[in-house]
Copies of this chain bind each other. A is one copy, B any other.
Amino acid sequence: MGNPYYECPLPVAIPPAKPLLESIKLGIKETLFPDDPFRQFKNQPASRKFILGMQYFVPILEWAPRYTFEFFKADLVAGITIASLAVPQGISYARLASVPPIIGLYSSFVPPLVYAMLGSSKDLAVGTVAVVSLLISSMLGKEVNPNENAKLYVQLVFTATFLAGVFQVALGLLRLGFIVDFLSHATIVGFMGGAATVVCLQQLKGILGLVHFTHGTDLVSVLRSVFSQTHQWRWASGLLGCCFLFFLFLTRYVSKRKPCFFWINAMAPMICVIVGSVLVYLTNAEKHGVQVIGHLKKGLNPLSVSELAFGSPYMVAAIKTGIITGVISLAEEVAVGRSFAMFKNYHIDGNKEMIAFGMMNMAGSCASCYLTTGCKTAGPNIVMATAVMVTLLFLTPLFHYTPIVVLSSIIIAAMIGLIDYEAAIGLWKVDKGDFIVCMSAYIGVVFGSVEIGLVIAVTISLLRMILSVARPRTFLLGNIPNSMIFRSIEQYPVANNIPGVLILQIDAPVNFANANYLRERISRWIYEEEEKLKSTGGSSLQYVILDLSAVGSTDTSGISMFKEVKKNIYSRGLKLVLANPRSEVIKKLVKSKFIESIGQEWIYLTVGEAVAACNFMLHASKSNNQVADEFDAHNNA
């Protein structure tokens, strides 16, 4: 061990090989259970384990016994406020999904109840959301026309909802929830912004009171459709829409300025609905061309198990829709749920949440509900569901005269808030690459379709990640004066070169994707250094030190790269020295006999020690002490 000429404080440790089974087990644990979800079960008696297990899977068992009347009073107010938002939004979003408005109300009743029992977040209100509604109508509407074949379309929607639930449960059970992480923050900002833009564009139909409208969702089709029938625009409807929009934006502005008036913002949509309905009722406007919702059936959710059409020829479309809407809604709710959890400082197990959401959608699809998710608003689900139940049982006739233009205004007002241009500006400032991902998602959604935007953004994100692995950075290191610390000369211009020694740092795992690149790049570093030394007439290059501190792992292609680099370096009459190989790397270097071939005395714990050893050798090999003087001169500069 150790260089024969130089005393090394501690040799680089080569960890013993782990048994295969154990390393597989560890790998699975780190990959699928990084948050160690069962840690509370450790060292508990069996009975306690059972209770904890029940509370784990049905969290209501944990908090219900601690629920007090005080909690209830607060929840009651909040729940009714949320319900007054949920009812008009439910009706509006159902129209966006091209399903009958009553299904939107059904979807605000059963799923919140299910989530209240199974979900771990008390703050996440459950309901339908606009983007997923749009996705459903744009993906399933391509297969079955919802106007011509309404029954089949609704069946497909329930089936897709059920499949989305199955997919969500499967992701959660298999602990594969991290797939959702691949929808990066930048992707979601762009995607949501684009979808919100598309949804707003669709509302031009309702606002302008148009009867015929394009089936396309992209900007070009919609604008062509709108401006090709300017003679059909109903100015009364448009004026009414603008008034409601103004009112909605005003209330939002007020409640943003004075947070104590948050309920004004929450109540505003309901106020619009009431005012709009009363106006229409009084003026008989529905007979003069103002479209209204019309008859809504009284009563709770009918069962819809028999509607699930698994044998239908549109099954492929239903599966595709289920998977995409399932993932999108998970991405939305995981992000939202996490921000609530962070705010209130409790911990959420993403995979368990997915199971809860999946169960909720599977149950929902059997009770005439379409896809629901966690929304951006907070509220107690049980109270909200009760309020919706009362609405369903007694109040549905009141919506008969609600004009469509009000619903469109409500949707637009909600959607504008989703276009998070400030976040996009933040992305541009901090990370141009993320900004490109965000904008490509936005442009893809607005000019192509929702799926195209999503696919483009995820592809660019992944390509960017793969490219960053395929083209890792390499840095030239220098000595920070008066220390044994070596840092990139690019970042620390005060760092000094060591004469006769080239120190390179590799910045990523070395694997098949970058092995060739690194070989070329290292050879170019050496070539450039030799050219520089030749032109300045400095002492010639003797040692190449590779700092492997940042090389966390490698594979057989990486090992070949090291072998080829060694061959190249030796053929130039230089010596290769390794600094700080990490456990995964040193293990493989030993197994492949690379360490044997360069000699264990050329592996050091730190770059500093490697340089010291090289200097020692340079001293020993030169009769005069020129090199040492140079080093000292540099070091004291």
Contacts and interface: CB of A to CB of B under 8 A. Distances in A.
Interface of A: 9-10, 13, 15, 20, 30-31, 34-36, 39, 178, 181-182, 184-187, 342, 345, 347, 350, 426-427, 429-434, 461-462, 465-473, 480, 482-483, 485, 487-488, 490-494, 507-509, 511-517, 520-521, 523-524, 527, 549-550, 552-553, 555-557, 559-560, 564, 567-568, 571, 580, 582-584, 588, 591-592, 605-606
A426 B555 CA distance: 12
Given A516-B178, A555-B184, A429 B591 contact: yes
Contacts of A606: 485
5 contacts: A181-B512, A426-B556, A430-B559, A468-B511, A491-B582
A557 B434 CA distance: 9
Nearest to A36: B524
A516 to B, nearest CB: 5
B555 A508 contact: no
Task: Report which residue of A20, A185, A186, A472 has the largest number of chain B beta carbons within 10 angstroms of its beta carbon.
Answer: A185
Given A430-B556, A432-B20, A34 B517 contact: yes
A187 B515 CA distance: 14
B555 A552 contact: no
Given A181-B512, A181-B516, A549-B549, 7 more contacts: A20-B432, A178-B517, A181-B513, A184-B556, A434-B555, A465-B469, A468-B553
Given A185-B556, A483-B9, A555-B184, A31 B431 contact: no
A345 B571 contact: yes
A22 to B, nearest CB: 13
Contact of A181 (B350, B473, B515): B515
Contact of A34 (B187, B469, B520): B520
B426 A488 contact: no
Given A30-B471, A427-B556, A583-B488, A480 B512 contact: no
Contacts of A426: 556, 592
B461 A512 contact: yes
Task: Report which residue of A342, A434, A555, A583 has the largest number of chain B beta carbons within 10 angstroms of its beta carbon.
Answer: A555
Contacts of A571: 345
B433 A524 contact: no
Nearest to A584: B473
Contacts of A471: 30-31, 34
Nearest to A189: B556
B508 A15 contact: no
Contacts of A556: 184-186, 426-427, 430-431, 434
B342 A564 contact: yes
A215 to B, nearest CB: 29
A552 B342 CA distance: 27
Contacts of A462: 466
A538 to B, nearest CB: 20
Contacts of A549: 549-550
A56 B461 CA distance: 36
A434 B605 CA distance: 28
Nearest to A605: B485
A386 to B, nearest CB: 34
B181 A524 contact: no
A366 B552 CA distance: 49
Contact of A466 (B465, B482, B605): B465
Q: Which 5 A-B pairs have the closest CB atoms?
A: A184-B512, A507-B552, A550-B550, A35-B520, A491-B583
Task: Report which residue of A39, A347, A462, A487 has the largest number of chain B beta carbons within 10 angstroms of its beta carbon.
Answer: A487
A331 to B, nearest CB: 11
Nearest to A558: B431
A433 B523 CA distance: 28
Contacts of A513: 181-182, 184, 465
B467 A524 contact: no
A344 to B, nearest CB: 11
Contacts of A560: 185
A480 B10 contact: yes
Nearest to A350: B516
A530 to B, nearest CB: 12
A517 to B, nearest CB: 5
A556 B185 CA distance: 7
A110 B521 CA distance: 35
A186 B491 contact: no
Contacts of A517: 34, 178, 181
A34 B521 contact: yes
Contacts of A15: 490-491
A430 B591 contact: yes
Given A466-B465, A490-B15, A186 B555 contact: yes
Contact of A552 (B487, B490, B508, B564): B508
B35 A524 contact: yes
Contacts of A466: 462, 465-466
A563 to B, nearest CB: 10
A597 to B, nearest CB: 14
A189 to B, nearest CB: 9
B430 A605 contact: no
A347 B524 CA distance: 11
